[in-house]
Copies of this chain bind each other. A is one copy, B any other.
Amino acid sequence: MKTAHLNTLKKLHILNDPIYGFITIPDTIVFKLVEDPFFQRLRRINQMGLSYLVYPGANHTRFHHALGCMFLMQKAVQVLRFKGVLISETEEEALYIAILLHDIGHGPFSHAMENSIVEGISHEEISLHFMELLNKKFNGRLTLAIQIFKGLHDKKFLCQLISGQLDMDRLDYLKRDSFYAGTPEGNINSERLITMLNVVDHELVVEEKGVYSIEKFIIARRFMYWQVYLHKTGIVAEQILVNILKRAKELIESGEELPATESLLYFLKNQIKNSDFDEKTLNLFSELDDYDIIASLKQWKNSKDFVLNNLSKRLLDRDLLKIKLKDKPFSKEFIEKKRNKLIKKYGLTSQEVKYFCFTGVITNLAYSDTKEKIKLLTQKGKIIDITDVSEQINSKALTKLVTKHYLCYPKSKD
C-alpha cells in the first residue's frame, strides 16, 4: 500500500439520471447553487403537477428537470464551440446558471397555483426574483446569467438557448416527461437535435438536414400536450385543486379558521401580486411546496364545509369529477340543468354548485409562426424559415390554435 501522487485537482460531482446516464456538475458555483435551500426545495415540487393521477410514473421533480437542462446545455456549448462559435468561459457559466434556475420560481402544482395562490404573476417573474436574491448572496456572480435569462444579451443565441423554440428547457422536459409518463410517443432525440444547432449572425439556427427531426420534435410536443399535459383527467384534477384553493380563500375571508402551514396561510389570506414580492414574501414563498398543499387537503377533507371536504377527498382518493370535451362551448341551458340537479341533490347554493359543475377552455398551438420562428441553415449557407421547406409544419394542423371546451360535473353514481 502506498500513498498516491494525486492528479485530481477537481472532484467530479455526478448525479445519476435514468435518462442521460449521469449528470456532471460543471463547476463550484453551480455546485453551490444546487446545494442552496432555494434549489433543494425543487425536490418537493412535482414536474408535472397532478399528472401522476393519470400517468402513475410521472413523479419526477423540477429539481431533476433543472439538472437535466443543465446537462443538455453542456452538450450545446460543446457542439457550438466545436463548430467555431465563440462562447467565453464566463458566458458558459452564465448559461449553466440561467438554465439551472429558470424554473426556480415554480410554486406547488405550478399552473394550478398561478391561478389561485398568487395573482397575475408568472413563475418566470418569480424565478427572476429568486435569481436576484441569489445574486446578492453570491456577490454579483449571477449578473450575466440574469441578463441572459431576461433575454437582454446582444448574443441573441445565448438567450435562445434558455428560452426559444429549441431551448434546453423544452429539449429536456419533452424527453423527461414522456420517459416518466411512459409515453414513448413523445420522446425526442434531444442530443441529436443539439448536434444540428449552429449560430449565424448571433442567432440560433438548425442545419437543414435536421428538418425531419424538428418536425418530429414539434409533433411530439403536440402529442404531449393533447395526450399528457392536457389529458382530460389531468385537467379535471387540476381544476378541482384550483377550486379547493379558491374555496379555502373564500372561507378564510369569511372568517373561518383553516388548518394549514404558516406560509400557505399567508398566501391564502393575502392577495399577492408581482409588486408585493419583496424579500420577506419571497422567503415565505420559498417555504411552499407540494407537501403544504397535499397535507392541507388531508386536513381539509374533515372540514365542516361540504365543498372543501368533498373536493379534498375527491382529489386524495382520485375519485374525480366527470369531464366532457367539445369543440364548441356548452350551452348555458345544458349547464344550468346540470347545476340545478346538483343543487337539489346535495342542497348546495347557486354559488357552491359552481365548484362541482364548471366549464373551461384548453388551447394549444403546436407551432407559432407569428412569434420567433425556427430558422434553417442550408448547405449553401442560406438562412430560411422552416415553414419554407416543411409542408408538415406549415400545415393548418400545426399552426392553427386548437381550442377545446370542457364541462365537469359529478358522476351520476356519486
Q: Which of A165-173, A192-200, A353-361 lies at the binding interface?
A: A192-200
Nearest CB in chain B: distance from A95 CB, A: 17
Verify A184–B180 contact, CB threshold 8 A: no
* Contact for A44 among B200, B201, B292, B294, CB less than 8 A: B294
Q: Which residues of B contact A9 (CB under 8 A)?
A: 83-84
Instruction: Answer whether residue A335 sits at the interface, using C-beta atoms and an 8 A cutoff.
Output: no
With contacts A43-B52, A291-B298, A294-B291 taken as known, whether A195 is within 8 angstroms of B60 at the C-beta atoms is no
Instruction: Answer whether residue A3 sits at the interface, using C-beta atoms and an 8 A cutoff.
Output: yes
Complex Cα spacing A85 to B10, Å? 11
With contacts A4-B382, A261-B295, A287-B298 taken as known, whether A10 is within 8 angstroms of B192 at the C-beta atoms is no
Verify B64–A195 contact, CB threshold 8 A: no
Complex Cα spacing A302 to B296, Å? 18
Complex Cα spacing A227 to B261, Å? 36
Q: Which of A9-48 contact B (CB under 8 A)?
A: 9-10, 12, 14-19, 21-22, 24, 35, 37, 40, 43-44
Instruction: Answer whether residue A381 sits at the interface, using C-beta atoms and an 8 A cutoff.
Output: yes
Nearest CB in chain B: distance from A397 CB, A: 4
Verify A4–B381 contact, CB threshold 8 A: yes
Q: Which of A145-153, A272-280, A388-396 lies at the binding interface?
A: A388-396
* Size range of the chain A interface in the assembly: 35 or more
Q: Which of A75-102 contact B (CB under 8 A)?
A: 79-80, 82-86
| Identity of the chain B residue whose Cβ is nearest the Cβ of A199 in the assembled complex | B7
Instruction: Answer whether residue A140 sits at the interface, using C-beta atoms and an 8 A cutoff.
Output: no
* Contact for A195 among B12, B19, B82, B391, CB less than 8 A: B12
Q: Which residues of B contact A12 (CB under 8 A)?
A: 79, 82-83, 195
Verify B212–A223 contact, CB threshold 8 A: yes
Q: Which of A125-133, A213-221, A250-258 lies at the binding interface?
A: A213-221
Complex Cα spacing A299 to B264, Å? 11
Instruction: Answer whether residue A229 sits at the interface, using C-beta atoms and an 8 A cutoff.
Output: no
Verify A16–B185 contact, CB threshold 8 A: no
Q: How many copies of this kind of chain does the complex include? A: 4
| Identity of the chain B residue whose Cβ is nearest the Cβ of A57 in the assembled complex | B18
Q: Which residues of B contact A298 (CB under 8 A)?
A: 261, 287, 291-292
Verify A56–B43 contact, CB threshold 8 A: yes
Instruction: Answer whether residue A310 sits at the interface, using C-beta atoms and an 8 A cutoff.
Output: no
Q: Which of A4, A86, A382 has the most CB of B within 10 A?
A: A4
Complex Cα spacing A37 to B18, Å? 30
Q: Which residues of B contact A400 (CB under 8 A)?
A: 391
Q: Which residues of B contact A303 (CB under 8 A)?
A: none
Can you give 12 A-B contacts (C-beta < 8 A)?
Answer: A3-B383, A4-B200, A35-B319, A57-B64, A184-B187, A185-B212, A185-B213, A212-B226, A215-B219, A216-B223, A392-B397, A392-B398
Task: Mark A residues whose CB is within 8 Å of B.
Answer: 1-10, 12, 14-19, 21-22, 24, 35, 37, 40, 43-44, 52-53, 55-57, 59-61, 63-64, 67, 79-80, 82-86, 179-185, 187-189, 191-192, 195, 198-201, 205, 212-213, 215-216, 219-220, 222-223, 226-227, 261-262, 287, 291-292, 294-296, 298-299, 302, 316-319, 377, 381-384, 390-392, 394-398, 400
